[in-house]
Structure 1
Amino acid sequence: MSNSKGSLPPRSNGPQGGRGQQNRTAPQTKTKKKKVKKRSFFARLTRMLLMLVLIGVLAGLGYAGYLYYKFEKGGFGTDQAVDSGQLASAKPLTMLLLGTDNRPKHPSNLTDVIMVAALNPDTKSATVVSLPRDTYVELSGYKKNKINAYYARFKSKEDTSGISAEDEMKTMMGKYLDVDIDYVTVLDFQGFRDIVDELGGVDVNISADMCYTDSVDGTDINLKKGPAQLNGDDALDYVRYRKSNCSPKTEGSDDFDRNKRQNEVLNALVGQMQSLGGVLKIGNVMDAVGNNLETDIENEQIKSMIATYWKISKENIAFVPVTGTWRSPYVYINDTELENARQSLQATLAGSAAASETP
């Protein structure tokens, strides 16, 4: 568990149902800037950081020795003991990954990011299912709502229900996707910026100009079409961009376009982290991760994950984004894709052939 945050409640034992944009070919001038590192609980969260943490925790990205040492010293998980038969090396595991749009000027527990990952130690494979934040959910025992509203609702009822919002989400998402969920991780937005900056930026190919400003939360997106190397701020703008309020307006995008850009950035960052340069920087990268997350995964379990999955390849991690049809204010999920996502998770847990990414 990060030293900058409070621990999540113990796991329940019940059933779980253009600012820094640079053109690649242009000469770059390095300017030293004073780095201000926010560690506030009220930082925004992002899907990209969730995925990076998942892979960082599982794979170790070529630097397992450092990570093992780090968790021997305390790590960022909980201090609870784990039975040997429940370790990642002994059985498949599932994790719920959440990201909330919680900002200093806009406090919120709405989960803009909802993903579930399944991991299998025998096949050394993982499947990560992601759902649009506006997904319409109609589930027995729960009020009909957008999927991103449930965590906030559970948070508001913690004092009266006596059940943590995190455990409530594990139960609900387990029921929705028809898998038992073992762990939950909630990640802080600032860590994404830190990871990109620690790796020296990320290379992308911007498909169209992007421009959007918001004086309330300080957003100032100004990205130009073409190959570019983005710093942490601009990489975040790139994966978040949805619409334009500039004059002239730039082309907008929907949640599905954002998912594609997020996967593009993720793959680029994973490649950089697995390179020699990335390996040499892994200590700082993992510190950035640890300073910006909360989880109920035990440190002993995290060490087991590292030992079990540190050689996992990108090809053995299947990302399965579920899409649907937008009819304001909801996304109505494609039933075939949702069933494919459920089967993909179950297949990974059962040790069947790894699922392929949904087109």
Structure 2
Amino acid sequence: MSNLSNGLPPRTQSGKKSPKQKKTKKKKSFFRSFMKFVLFLLIIGILAAGGYTYYIYNQVEEVLDTGNNKEVPQTELAEAKPLTILLLGTDYRPDHPTYLSDVIMVATLNPNTKSSTIVSLPRDTRLEMDGYKPRKLNEYYPVFKAREKESGEVAEEQMKKMIGKYLNINIDYVTVINFQGFRDVVDNLGGVDVTVDKNMCYRDRADGTDINLTAGAKHLNGDQALDFVRYRKSNCRPRTAESDDFDRNRRQNQVLHSLIDQMQSFNALTKFSAIIKSVDKNMMTDIESQQMKNIVQTYWNISKQNVKYNPVAGTWRSPYVYIDEQQLDAARQALQEELAKKANDSTATSSNS
């Protein structure tokens, strides 16, 4: 896990690349649909440890070292105050360093109620705001990256300021993650149980893609789970039915809940360190090591029913998404309400992502 202050790009897994890791335009479009899910894995990796937290904490203490050893005042620790974290998912690869942030999410954590509110923004959102040139939301991070030397400002800090201004909220930290750890997380948990909603078939020899799933209850490994959440259309004979964004969101959430159940099981206890390492290899953050450990200690028993997910939608008019202002206002209010919750507040509700 690297510290954002060093300005280096996210690290990727070492070793021989699989065919799926070759640079192609088709691969890039495929992975946009499940990047949001990878960020959920980050959140669960930080928060979900079931009733075995202190054992796990001791096992993974070294893994939770973010490289930032700055001391955090007691009043600023996760146990003492709500925190807000910007989560960026990029399609960065060494041979494809675009830094396009295909996922933009803001997560607020409240220690008083052990609850969280997560807001996600469409990558193609047209952002028009004083002080910023109008462009797609996912284009700002690579622009800030390209201007770091000229502006003297770290790109991640600029993203925190911009998204904070857009959502009317102060953002404490930022985490940037790519998709490389997805398969390892699933495989380290021994796979996931899902119900495949339809037959899925898609092949692309250019990047080694070979999606071939049949409908029904399935136990999927990492590669298969990746195929399940990213499937969009078919080029096989006979063709299988296509999927829209809503179908993919439902499948992503199904895998997410299966992983949460897996992580909170006894079998995940001895695998937790390997799971975090899978995320660690593909993540950068400015969260201090002391704070990261305190986050784990504070939210050891958070329930998935207390994680509320708020996707902000809009209208697609190529090449932009024009945000629904009522939904945006509701998301802003949800974040503010999460920050304001008190210990006796019973408003922490179940999440129907």
Q: TM-score, normalised by structure 2?
A: 0.85
* Aligned with residue 38 of structure 1, among 6, 10, 13: 13
Measured against aligned partners, the alpha-carbon deviations of 1:110-147 in whole angstroms (never above 9, x if no partner) come to 11111110011111110111122222222222122221
Letter in 2 for 1:180: N
Measured against aligned partners, the alpha-carbon deviations of 1:221-240 in whole angstroms (never above 9, x if no partner) come to 22222222111112112222
Q: Paired residue for 1:49?
A: 38
Gapped regions of structure 2 (runs ≥ 5):
22-30
Q: Tell me the SS of whatever aligns to 2:48.
A: helix
* Inter-CA distance 151–243: structure 2 relative to 1 (3 Å threshold): farther
1:285 deviates by 1.4
* Inter-CA distance 250–279: structure 2 relative to 1 (3 Å threshold): same
Letter in 2 for 1:171: K
Letter in 2 for 1:91: K
Q: Tell me the SS of whatever aligns to 2:71.
A: coil
Q: Paired residue for 1:177?
A: 167
* Inter-CA distance 176–245: structure 2 relative to 1 (3 Å threshold): farther
* Inter-CA distance 320–175: structure 2 relative to 1 (3 Å threshold): same
8 Å contact from structure 2 (residues 116, 308) kept in 1: yes
1:9 paired to 2:5: yes
Q: What is the rounded CA distance, in whole Å, between the counterparts of 2:211 and 2:174 in structure 1?
A: 31
Q: What is the rounded CA distance, in whole Å, between the counterparts of 1:170 and 1:76 in structure 2?
A: 22
Q: What is the rounded CA distance, in whole Å, between the counterparts of 1:320 and 1:113 in structure 2?
A: 14
Q: What is the rounded CA distance, in whole Å, between the counterparts of 2:147 and 2:168 in structure 1?
A: 25
Runs of 4+ aligned residues of structure 1 deviating over 6 Å after TM superposition are: 42-45
1:64 paired to 2:53: yes
Q: What is the rounded CA distance, in whole Å, between the counterparts of 1:154 and 1:79 in structure 2?
A: 26
Q: What is the rounded CA distance, in whole Å, between the counterparts of 1:107 and 1:227 in structure 2?
A: 38
| Between structures 1 and 2, the one with greater helix share | 2
* Inter-CA distance 330–224: structure 2 relative to 1 (3 Å threshold): farther
Q: What is the rounded CA distance, in whole Å, between the counterparts of 2:240 and 2:132 in structure 1?
A: 39
1:345 deviates by 0.8
Q: What is the rounded CA distance, in whole Å, between the counterparts of 2:333 and 2:349 in structure 1?
A: 8
Letter in 1 for 2:207: D
8 Å contact from structure 1 (residues 185, 294) kept in 2: yes
Q: Tell me the SS of whatever aligns to 1:63.
A: helix
1:164 paired to 2:139: no
Q: Which piece of structure 1 moves more, 316-325 or 238-247? A: 238-247
1:150 paired to 2:125: no
8 Å contact from structure 2 (residues 307, 351) kept in 1: no
1:288 deviates by 1.8
1:108 deviates by 2.3
Measured against aligned partners, the alpha-carbon deviations of 1:318-350 in whole angstroms (never above 9, x if no partner) come to 111222222222222222222111111111001
Gapped regions of structure 1 (runs ≥ 5):
12-36
Q: Paired residue for 2:220?
A: 230
Q: TM-score, normalised by structure 1?
A: 0.84
Q: What is the rounded CA distance, in whole Å, between the counterparts of 2:109 and 2:173 in structure 1?
A: 12
Letter in 1 for 2:274: N
Q: Paired residue for 1:221?
A: 211
Of all paired residues, the percent bearing the same amino acid is: 54
* Aligned with residue 115 of structure 1, among 98, 105, 121: 105
1:294 paired to 2:284: yes
Q: Paired residue for 2:69?
A: 79
1:100 deviates by 0.7
* Inter-CA distance 125–161: structure 2 relative to 1 (3 Å threshold): same
Aligned-pair Cα RMSD in Å: 2.5
